[in-house]
A and B are shown apart, each in its own frame.
Chain A
Amino acid sequence: GAVVSQHPSWVICKSGTSVKIECRSLDFQATTMFWYRQFPKQSLMLMATSNEGSKATYEQGVEKDKFLINHASLTLSTLTVTSAHPEDSSFYICSASIPGALKEYFGPGTRLTVL
């Protein structure tokens, strides 16, 4: 079946630094990828929809200048958390959908800890 990978799986950084998280569709092309944020024991909160070759669509309340999303190819989307602060510590999950399919494939997630 279709596989989505994320890298890194866990990252620790200092406050004020930027962190980039990669999301790759390994065996299919994804025109659309989604980025979610999840706090412990809570639901997935959609941050943005990433479309290949165009600007991402951010959900209300998500700072687009803080969470930079780039979908440069049909198999790669990146999320950069700029000037990270401890409150940005969370679990970030990406997903990708195959055009015409009714299924969304989720990455394994990235745990971000900001000290």
Chain B
Amino acid sequence: AQTVTQSQPEMSVQEAETVTLSCTYDTSESDYYLFWYKQPPSRQMILVIRQEAYKQQNATENRFSVNFQKAAKSFSLKISDSQLGDAAMYFCAYRSAGRGGANSKLTFGKGITLSVRP
């Protein structure tokens, strides 16, 4: 079974600064997808960024980028120019790309609460 580990329960960052959220995972599969989801106080889950394991290039979405290290099974999220609206819980998640594809379930990490100081 796959596992996703987020060892830091909380982090804080100064507005306009950069912060990196850590995530490691364990799997025996070679093809899979990794995600970072944001859950603000409204509790609506929002997809931040996605990485396909077969792609060597790290995904980027505006101020958000990942550092995907497949051999180390590490998938960290970097938030640049942090904004007050970035304050939320962030979840790292894994999905198998095998049978089922998009119908495969997501495995979530425990999450990290990010606060942004003005």
Contacts and interface: CB of A to CB of B under 8 A. Distances in A.
Interface of A: 31-32, 34, 38, 41-44, 46, 49, 51, 91, 93, 95, 97-104, 106, 108-109
Name the interface size band of chain B: 20 to 34
Interface stretch (B19-27, B60-68, B75-83, B101-109): B101-109
Interface in B35-85: 42-45, 47, 50, 52
Interface of B: 33, 42-45, 47, 50, 52, 89, 91, 101-103, 105-111, 113
Nearest to A59: B105
A104 B106 contact: yes
B102 A101 contact: yes
Contacts of B110: 42-43
Contacts of B44: 106, 108-109
B102 A97 contact: yes
Contact of A106 (B45, B89, B101, B102): B45
Question: What 7 A-B pairs have minimum CB-CB distances, sorted nearest first?
Answer: A106-B45, A32-B103, A97-B102, A43-B108, A43-B110, A43-B111, A109-B43
B64 to A, nearest CB: 16
Contacts of B111: 42-43
Given A43-B110, A108-B44, A99 B91 contact: no
B45 A102 contact: no
21 contacts: A32-B102, A38-B43, A41-B89, A42-B111, A43-B109, A43-B110, A43-B111, A44-B45, A49-B103, A91-B43, A95-B45, A97-B103, A98-B102, A102-B33, A102-B50, A103-B50, A103-B102, A104-B102, A106-B44, A106-B45, A109-B43
B88 to A, nearest CB: 12
Nearest to B109: A43
Given A43-B91, A102-B50, A103-B47, A108 B42 contact: yes
